[in-house]
Amino acid sequence: MTSSPPSPSPQPSPPPPPASGGAPEPFGGAAGCSGVLDLAPVLPVVVVADAADAVPLARALVAGGLPAIEVTLRTPAALDAVRAIAAEVPEAVVGAGTVLTPGQVAECRAAGARFLVSPGWTDTLLAALRGSGLPFLPGVSTASEVVALLERGVWEMKFFPARAAGGTAYLRSLAGPLPQARFCPTGGIGADDAAEYLALPNVGCVGGSWMVPPEAVAARDWARVEELARAAARLGTPGDWA
């Protein structure tokens, strides 16, 4: 005599998305949601070579309508840049990206980062990200990684490297079987295709660096950065997706 297999546990419903608007009050408030995806349509991904550039760069981005700023840990100046922005540009929501280790999690939190972004994740890194008390976006590039994070109660994540991993076609294919997951696609996205990503139902924002071109930063052309940021911020208007 064979026994019937146990009934599968019902799949949990995703929590409601954070309230809309530019104010940071709902930031990171809902279980499983980072809140980062709702701060602005575009998340600037910034590489800072000289910490002295951090404050004017952040002010230009904020003035252009992009309050959330991801400073990547790719240069020795990165943590000093996070500290400077956190201390001198309170209207910015500064985060740290390319976070790879628990040690970096602690350093970024101590520097004043308000959110954390990783290109991928492990259980060890995920535990450190959670333990920081900060909102975070762990990176994924496959359906299995998305499912694994959903099992762990994480609903918002970074899709990286977006273009190389399948771009809008891949994200669109995930929306049917995995509607709970929301993404910030990053990697190879520019002004020419950002709107195509933003039009997808499972994309909350996109990450990119086209509004901080290296030549403008090197020339300290903050007016140019502000102009590009303002154009990027307008991508949040559905009428601009055509």
* Encoded tokens for 63: 């003035």
Strand order in the sheet with 116-117: 136-137, 116-117, 93-97, 68-72, 42-46, 206-208
Smallest CA-to-CA distance from 43 within 96, 101, 88, 109 is with 96
Residue 117 near residue 132 (C-beta atoms within 8 A): no
CA 133 to chain centre: 16
70: annotated active-site residue: yes
Smallest CA-to-CA distance from 129 within 168, 101, 98, 170 is with 101
The Cβ of residue 124 has, within 10 Å, a number of other Cβ atoms equal to 10
Active-site residue (options: 25, 70, 107, 145)? 70
Distances (CA, A) of 120 to 77, 116, 131, 139: 22, 12, 17, 4
158: annotated active-site residue: yes
Q: Which amino acid is at 75?
A: T
Active-site residue (options: 158, 196, 215, 227)? 158
- Indicate which residues carry an active-site annotation: 70, 158
